[in-house]
Chain A
Amino acid sequence: MFKYKSSKDTGAKSWIYQRISGIALVVFAIGHYILMHFQPEAGKTYEAVFARMQFSWYRIIDLTFVTLALYHGLNGIWGIFRDYDLKSGTKITIISALILFGLAFLFWAYYIVFSIPYGKPMP
């Protein structure tokens, strides 16, 4: 069906987004590791997570981190598939599956972060 219709997309945008998100992820990952591993008690307990989530800017950082990581990761997986000479139908199936899988996990992550209440912790 799509045999003679190739995309006009050269992949340049995908390439630059992958690099920009990659650099951002390195910065986020450094912060994440300092937070989680220098003092595990201050990073990983429910109280610590709850206390951080009282700041909306921390929620924004967390959600930016997970959004960029999912985008970078799934775009990377797509990049691997792109190395092989796949049929159009296979390409469409793979990219649809990646997008659906990514969106499902992205919304799950958002749901987890927004389920943590402001004010009083859940027992």
Chain B
Amino acid sequence: MAEKINPKIKTFNQKEWVKTNLSYQKDPGSWAWILHRISGIALIAYLFLHIWSISPLVQGKAAFEQKMATYSGTLFSFVEWFLFAFVLFHALNGVRIIIVDWADGAKYHKQLYLYTWVIGILLFLAMGLIMFSHIF
């Protein structure tokens, strides 16, 4: 089952995939793809952390509140705020992907990518206002 490889076609070099990926010309679709991956990986990592961080619920009130005290404070609120940025991008871009797959949505993928950012930034700022109104 040996297939003939056309020498004119450059095959994807597995070893230099970072370099190859970076060499591609980036249009909004490429950035959406890259950021969707990065935010997705970050979110699943956070989900594992989240299950671990609320696990003191098993031991009752005292243990839970002691653990939760370490997760409060301005620094952690900032981390939570930026976590929301990842959630927002992944959610909005996910909706964008569904629309792009739908009917002739692919024609509008660049506009939709712009809307992802506009709606995302607005909701991010709104969340900042809500979260930090409890602190300051």
To the question of whether A and B form a pair in one complex, the answer is yes
What's the dominant secondary structure at chain B's contact region? helix
Instruction: Indicate if the CB atoms of B98 and A105 lie closer than 8 Å.
Output: no
Q: How far is the CB of A39 from chain B (nearest CB, A)?
A: 8
Number of interface residues of A (CB under 8 A): 36
1/0 per residue, CB under 8 A from A, across B25-51: the answer is 000000000000100110110011001
What's the dominant secondary structure at chain A's contact region? helix
Point out the residue from B44, B55, B61 that lies within 8 Å of A77, measured CB to CB. B44
> Given the known A-B contacts A29-B87, A121-B60, are A37 and B130 also in contact in the complex, defined by CB atoms under 8 Å?
yes
Chain B, interface residues (CB within 8 Å), range: 20 to 34
Tell me which residues across on chain B come within 8 A of A80, comparing CB atoms: 37, 40-41
Instruction: Indicate if the CB atoms of B91 and A26 lie closer than 8 Å.
Output: yes
A109 interface residue per 8 A CB criterion: yes
Instruction: Indicate if the CB atoms of A76 and B51 lie closer than 8 Å.
Output: no
Instruction: Indicate if the CB atoms of B47 and A29 lie closer than 8 Å.
Output: no
B114 interface residue per 8 A CB criterion: no
